[in-house]
Amino acid sequence: MTKTSKKAARLTLPARIRNKPTNSGDFAARMALVDRIADLPGIETVERNDETIPGQVEIYLRRETSDRVLKRKPARQLCCLDCNFVTVSGLSRWDTFQVLKNGWGKLFNDQVCVYLPRDHEELEIVWSVIRQAYCRFTGPPNLESGTVMVSTWDFPRFSRTSLQ
């Protein structure tokens, strides 16, 4: 009998090609990304067309309205789309490191700005980053089965005297 452990899924990304020529699939890949994000359950979008940030779409996780109002909690922002980047919130440190190390984005105010996809291959990679953040927000805490969180206050107390 083999015992399998449930480990947290870690994001691994290939290196991004910096000087990739743009093609006609650029706009189609970006629209496919928008469609995939819109298909996620529990999503609210806010489109901003003011002069300060033209064409920006903010994507939030929907919560029960009464619950949010009673507890005075703001809605969680999953990501924000603009003309150059997808600003993703909620990535773990490992996921953030993978995005930065492989050249898929940059860090800005504790959020990761991921470059928009230029073709369908890059679409799959950017989608995996957004899906990872979505799963981190909506999924259960990533604890391995059989592990227990223990505080240092729960450790046994030993006396240093010889009178034990």
pLDDT grade for 161, boundaries at 50, 70 and 90: low
Span 115-136, pLDDT tens digits: 988 888 889 999 999 999 999 8
**Has residue 116 been placed in a domain?**
yes
Place of tokens 């809605």: 75
The dihedrals phi and psi of 60, each to the nearest 5 degrees, come to -115, 155
Of 163 and 89, more confident: 89
Q: What is the pLDDT of residues 65-111, one digit of tens each?
A: 445 445 666 778 899 988 888 999 989 899 999 999 999 999 988 89
Find the radius of gyration of the CA atoms of the chain: 21
> pTM (2 decimals)?
0.70
Q: Which two tokens stand for residue 52?
A: 């300060």
Say how many C-beta atoms besides its own lie within 10 A of residue 132's C-beta.
Answer: 21
Residue 161 inside a domain? The answer is: no
Question: Residue 40 falls within a domain, yes or no?
Answer: yes
Query: Which segments of the chain are extended strands (E)?
Result: 43-48, 56-61, 77-81, 85-88, 105-108, 111-115
pLDDT of 3 > 80? The answer is: no
Measured CA to CA, the distance from residue 23 to residue 92 in angstroms comes to: 32
The reported pLDDT for the residue numbered 68 is 47
| Domain extent for 115 | 25-154
Residue 86: CB atoms within 10 Å: 27
Q: How many domains does the chain have?
A: 1
pLDDT in tens, 34-71: 889 988 888 888 887 766 655 788 888 876 544 544 56
Q: 2 in a domain, yes or no?
A: no
15 in a domain, yes or no?
A: no
pLDDT of residue 74: 73
CA distance 84 to 87: 10
Of 74, 86, 158, nearest in space to 126 by CA = 86
